[in-house]
Amino acid sequence: MSNSPLSSLLPADSVAEVRAREHVIRYRRAGSGTPVLVLVHPEVRATAAWSELVAALSDHFRVLIPEVPTSCAAPEWLTGFLEGLGASTVDVIADDPLWLPAVQLALSGEDQVARLVIVVSESDDDVSLTSALAAGPRSAAVPLLLVGRKVSTSELVQRVTEFLGAATAARPVEAG
């Protein structure tokens, strides 16, 4: 399992898979609570900032990090993955180059995305992102947070966890 593109963020015992349509999608999972789907390129995933963000999120949420297939249409793949999980609504965090399918899913009108965080490269006014948002249906009301990749790790963690409501998403106390 250490050769897996997913091995950089979560331990090997966190691996699961979903069979959705004609795809078998491997993913890692951690935490419990509201599901947060993390779509990040393997090269970006290996950074300390993403490791710290995933650790902070897994304290409050059910973090899902799929191995994104390169040979299929991303919005359809994402829909199939969520259906395979049995998740009707998730929060999504996406980085380059995976933010566009996340935006398309959020704007699809399927109500599968509750909140969307996009970590953008140098420029927050990325032309493609602006175009994707402008082309979406006006009825889609998905809260959106844009975070520049160059922010400090602590600021990234703070902004994302606050936006996703980590303070209100604490794990339930188990009777014992």
Tell me what pLDDT residue 36 has: 95
Range of the domain at 158: 12-167
**89: domain CATH number?**
3.40.50.1820
Tell me what pLDDT residue 62 has: 92
Tell me what pLDDT residue 14 has: 78
Would residue 42 count as lying in a domain?
yes
Would residue 174 count as lying in a domain?
no
Tally of structural domains, the chain: 1
Would residue 38 count as lying in a domain?
yes
Burial class (CB in 10 A: 0-12, 13-18, 19+), 25: buried
Would residue 160 count as lying in a domain?
yes
Would residue 153 count as lying in a domain?
yes
pLDDT of the chain, 176 residues: tens digit per residue: 344 444 455 555 578 888 877 778 888 888 999 999 999 877 666 678 888 999 999 999 999 998 876 655 566 778 888 888 888 789 999 987 788 888 888 888 778 899 999 988 755 455 456 555 655 555 557 898 988 878 889 999 999 999 998 755 444 443 43
Which residue pairs, CB below 8 angstroms and at least 24 apart, start in 40-45? 40/65, 40/93, 40/94, 40/95, 40/98, 40/119, 41/95, 41/96, 41/97, 41/98, 42/5, 42/8, 44/95, 44/96, 45/5, 45/6, 45/8, 45/9
Would residue 175 count as lying in a domain?
no
Tell me what pLDDT residue 149 has: 79
Would residue 172 count as lying in a domain?
no
Would residue 4 count as lying in a domain?
no
